[in-house]
Chain A
Amino acid sequence: MGDSAYSFSLTTFNRTGKLLQIEYALNAVANGRTSLGICAKDGVVIATDKKLASTLVDTEQVRKVENITDGAGFVYSGVGPDYRVLVRKARKSSQSYYLTYREPQPVSQLVKGTASVMQEYTQSGGVRPFGVSLLVAGTDADGTPRLYQVDPSGAYFGWKATAIGKNYVNAKNFLERRYQEDMELEDAIHTALLTLREGFEGEMTSQNIEVGVVSTTDGVFRRLTPEQIQDYLDEAS
């Protein structure tokens, strides 16, 4: 980035103290498909709406929920291609961590690192901020389940439950009503699906959503298969 003709940042303050590029990036996020996450006492679940432009699109090939380390995964709302860059960088940096320490990177460190990258793109020459907000699910160094949100500005927040993208306000209200401190992972998955269905345009099936889960029993982050998603959907009906 530094060797281009642009040695100055494109993200600059306006008179009222706002960084408009970041505001606009947040707009791009708010226009993206809904994603949400819930942190239970024995695990974390993240899910997203995978509705695509046409029924002809092969939804199996589209990956929105991605593993970063064995124990942590991302999902996003916003601009897909920007997300893929972040996933790539995060995977590389967590492997680099493992190479130095021979210990898996804790999710809190993963979040700080990714947030730091996103912040750099708001203060470097010739680049624009990433048009995505991320939801990060994983277990921390001591095994506690954690859910984080990372915004285009590089700000990050720990959440008990949250939603981003289109319709996030309604989704968050729904979550506020349904969330309980001692929720178990299975309940959290059900609640996540119910919340996703609330704002869903058309019928929600195992083909047009993606769900990722990490449980404290083994600390491994996994995407649910369409069959597993179908089982949860069947139970919910």
Chain B
Amino acid sequence: MSILEYNGAAIIGMAGKNCVGIASDNRLGAQIQTVATDFKKVFSMDDKLYVGLAGLASDVQTMHNLLKFRQNLYELREERSVSPKVFSNLLSSLLYEKRFGPYFIEPVVAGLDEKNEPFLSAMDLIGAPSYHEDFVVSGTATANMLGMCETLYKPDMEPEELFETLSQALLASVDRDSLSGWGAVVHIVTKDGVITRELKGRQD
């Protein structure tokens, strides 16, 4: 049993034209048993900054609280909002601090920078970051998600098309993974605001 596969998760971040989307499944399990079907793994840190946390549920919630703590202090002290790049680097530093006793999460950061250009990053449980212009994935169905994204993705999609692509990629991926699924939540972030939609997929 791998700790990162105990609770189950599927998260995708995808970039469009001056917009970014981030989606996750809703399942919380204890190995084979499903415990909740409304477990949030994507969190809004700011209007244009979202973070998705896949992995051990306890660490998902703890890290969300820790990130909020650090973001609040930053914004109080610096009197400005955290940019996606800085947030991603902060997250990376926080994870590496626990190099020899890590948080069991593999996060995804999605946001729009100061110029409303999409920002996507993903990292492993000890903070090794990678930056992508197209899509990032994390969770128990990464092989499925990478295949779906690679096939369905095209650059410069408008928000509506991005939503369709992101939704189809996620829904198809979780259907072949027993540990993730039970519906999904999709956020599409543009400079004018965010549209959040719930998806109903196979409830199994």
Q: Is this pair of chains taken from one and the same complex?
A: yes
Q: Which residue of B lies closest to A106 (CB)?
A: B78
Question: A99 near B78 (CB under 8 angstroms)?
Answer: no
Range of interface residues on B (Cβ < 8 Å)? 10 to 19
Contact (Cβ within 8 A) B93 A141: no
Tally A residues with Cβ within 8 Å of B.
11
Contacts of A101 in B (CB 8 A): 86, 89-90, 93
CB B85 to nearest CB in A, in angstroms, measures 7
A154 to B80, CA, bound (A): 24
Q: Is the interface of A mostly helix, strand, loop or mixed?
A: helix
Q: Which of A100, A112, A142 contacts B77 (CB 8 A)?
A: A112
Chain A residue nearest to B80 in the complex (CB): A141
Q: Out of B78, B86, B90, which one reaches A109, CB within 8 Å?
A: B78
Question: A85 to B96, alpha carbons, bound, how many Å?
Answer: 30
Our pick among A102, A108, A109, A112 for the contact of B89 (Cβ within 8 Å) is A102
Chain A residue nearest to B92 (CB atoms) is: A102
Instruction: Give CA–CA (A142, B114) in the complex, Å.
Output: 12
Contact: A103 with B78, CB < 8 Å?
Answer: no
A112 to B74, CA, bound (A): 13
Contact (Cβ within 8 A) A103 B77 = no
Binary contact readout B82-97 vs A (1 if CB under 8 angstroms, 0 otherwise): 0101100110010000
- From A99, A102, A108, A142, contact of B86 by CB (8 A): A102
Q: Is the CB of B78 within 8 A of A100?
A: no
Write out the residue numbers on chain A whose beta carbons fall within 8 Å of the beta carbon of B79.
108
Nearest Cβ in chain B — how far from A111, in angstroms?
12
Known: A102-B85, A103-B89. 5 other contacts (CB 8 A): A100-B93, A103-B86, A109-B77, A141-B80, A142-B80
Q: Please list 10 pairs of residues, one from A and one from B, whose beta carbons are closer than 8 Å in the complex, sorted by A's number.
A: A101-B86, A101-B90, A103-B85, A103-B86, A103-B89, A108-B78, A108-B79, A109-B77, A112-B77, A141-B78
